[in-house]
């Protein structure tokens, strides 16, 4: 009966709109980021693009367009796409967008529940769990994925930490309310960091488990993970909210009909890597996109568009993504990279000629030669 299982309302007619739905440039720049990391790590012979919760498939579609435009660069590389999606409805929408309907619903590979070929000839596989995705050098992508995972809420009281629970309102039949647990719960014992200074905390244990899985995969097989989401670095408190028809919605009313979200605590994700990988960010979306060259890309698109309507749309979508009052500041980018990405390989023959390490795109200023 869950929200995503039944409908998953992405887009204009749904309950919320995501960055890839606003502008193609967003996905293109993420595609460039992966290519840049692939080059920085010596152009491995194969890579998997793994997206968690791909929505309507728009983001993967934009990334694959970039891969296709850079086909000569990737010609010797074996690229495959692996989508982790639990919603039957959304996987159908993704399949239509990405393959135009060329599908096998029970592939030989038993871990995948569906398989297809992208419009540009790249194999695509669907899975219900990240554990089912094959091991190997991979680029992971989670855009507005972690904010949809369930959280525990805790409140500091005079008697110590108490978990916030959901109860039936005795005054109003059929209405739910929040209550504080009368005593400590197992979650209170396990999920509050001893050094916590806030009075109200939201913890998403599932996000912690996922980050540990990503970190151990990257440590073992190499690659990179990019996480883009609403979030903060351990500073915010009560962010749990609902959206219906693009408006805020009481989270306890009509459960299953609204999109529920809570800001991602990137400081918690960083802790959960347990030092297995390096982490970069979080940095604000407008900084990341600027560092990735969004201004240049916008100029090119404006020059290539013939009509004022398209130009106005481009400027409007740029403003949505970059304006601090819109998405520019509330969205953040965060990356996991293997430690060896930052260690200079020794040049035995000529120790003096150590080339400078390739900087990680997006997380430092873009310098144009």
Contact 44, 74 (CB under 8 A): no
Which pLDDT score is estimated for 173? 83
Give the pLDDT score at 10. 58
Number of H helices, E strands in the chain: 12, 17
- Structure tokens of 26? 């967003």
User: What's the pLDDT band for 352 if we cut at 50, 70, 90?
Assistant: low
CA–CA distance, 297 with 315 (Å, rounded to integer): 12
What integer pLDDT is reported at residue 255 of this predicted model? Answer: 86
276 closest CA partner among 225, 217, 194:
217
Calculate mean pLDDT across residues 141-156: 97
Q: What pLDDT does residue 345 have?
A: 67
Q: Rounded mean pLDDT of 285-307?
A: 95
Query: Do 272 and 183 meet the contact criterion of CB atoms below 8 Å apart?
Result: no
Per residue, the 3-state secondary structure of 112-177, as one string, reads: CCEEEECCCCCEEEEECCHHHCCCCCEEEEEECCHHHCCCEEEEEECCEEEEEEEEECCCCCCCEE
How far, in whole angstroms, is CA 259 from its chain's centroid? 17
Rounded mean pLDDT of 169-181?
94
pLDDT bin (cut points 50, 70, 90) of residue 117 is very high
Pairing of strands 114-117, 123-127: antiparallel
Domain boundaries, the chain: 3-150+204-342, 152-203
Provide the percentage of residues in the chain whose pLDDT is more than 90: 80
Cα separation, 179 vs 167, in Å, equals: 6
Write the DSSP symbol of residue 348.
S
Neighbours of 4 (CB within 10 A): 18
Which structure tokens are listed for 59? 């983001």
Eight-state DSSP code of residue 326? I
Say how many residues make up the chain.
369
Q: Which of 90-94, 101-105, 116-120 has the lowest mean pLDDT?
A: 101-105
Write the DSSP string, 27-47: HHHHHHHHHHHHHHTT--SEE
- Of 237, 253, 260, nearest to 177 by C-alpha is 253
Calculate the alpha carbon distances from 186 to 183, 192, 268, 272 in Å.
Answer: 10, 11, 19, 19
Q: Are 127 and 84 in contact (CB under 8 A)?
A: yes
Greater pLDDT, 369 or 257: 257
What value does the CA radius of gyration of the chain take, rounded to a whole number of Å?
22
Phi/psi region, residue 213 (left: phi>0; alpha: psi -120 to 50; beta: rest), is alpha
Is the CB of residue 128 less than 8 Å from the CB of residue 209?
A: no
C-alpha–C-alpha distance, residues 62 and 155, integer Å: 42
Helix axes 308-322, 294-304, angle to 10 degrees: 170
What is the band of 276 on the pLDDT scale with cuts at 50, 70, 90?
Answer: very high
With 0-12 / 13-18 / 19 or more C-beta atoms within 10 angstroms meaning exposed / middle / buried, residue 255 is middle
CB 231 within 8 A of CB 151: no
Share of the chain above pLDDT 70, in %: 92
40 pLDDT band, cuts 50/70/90, is: very high
Residue 356 has pLDDT above 80, yes or no: no
Q: How many CB atoms lie within 10 A of CB 119?
A: 15
């Amino acid at each position: 009966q869950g929200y995503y299982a039944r409908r998953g309302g992405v887009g204009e007619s749904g309950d919320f709109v995501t960055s890839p739905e606003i502008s193609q440039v967003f996905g293109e720049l993420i595609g460039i980021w992966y290519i840049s990391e692939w080059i920085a790590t010596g152009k491995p012979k194969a890579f998997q693009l793994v997206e968690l919760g791909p929505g309507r498939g728009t983001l993967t579609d934009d990334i694959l367009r970039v891969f296709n435009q850079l086909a000569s660069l990737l010609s010797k590389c074996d690229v495959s796409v692996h989508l982790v999606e639990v919603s039957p409805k959304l996987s159908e929408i993704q399949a239509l967008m990405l393959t135009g309907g060329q599908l096998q619903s029970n592939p030989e590979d038993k871990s995948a529940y569906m398989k297809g070929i992208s419009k540009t000839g790249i194999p695509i596989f669907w899975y219900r769990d990240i554990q089912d995705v094959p091991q190997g050098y991979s680029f992971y992508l989670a855009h507005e994925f972690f904010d949809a995972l369930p959280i525990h809420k805790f409140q500091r009281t005079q008697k110590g930490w108490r978990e916030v629970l959901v109860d039936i309102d005795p005054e109003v039949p059929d209405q739910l309310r929040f209550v504080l647990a009368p005593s400590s719960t197992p979650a209170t014992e396990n999920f509050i960091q001893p050094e916590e200074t806030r009075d109200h905390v939201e913890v998403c244990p599932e996000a912690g488990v996922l980050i540990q899985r990503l970190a151990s995969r990257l440590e073992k097989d190499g690659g990179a993970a990019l996480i883009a989401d609403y979030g903060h670095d351990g500073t915010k408190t009560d962010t749990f909210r609902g959206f219906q028809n693009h408006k805020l919605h009481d989270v306890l009313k009509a459960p299953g009909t609204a999109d529920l979200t809570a800001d991602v605590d990137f400081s918690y994700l960083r802790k959960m890597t347990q030092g297995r990988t390096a982490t970069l960010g979080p940095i604000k979306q407008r900084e990341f996109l600027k560092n990735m060259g969004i201004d240049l890309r916008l100029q090119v698109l404006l020059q290539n568009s013939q009509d004022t309507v398209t130009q106005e749309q481009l400027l409007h979508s740029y403003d949505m993504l970059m304006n601090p009052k819109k998405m520019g500041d509330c969205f953040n980018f965060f990356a996991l990279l293997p430690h060896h990405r930052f260690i200079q390989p020794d040049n035995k023959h000529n120790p003096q000629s150590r080339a400078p390490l390739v900087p990680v795109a997006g997380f430092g200023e873009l310098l144009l030669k």
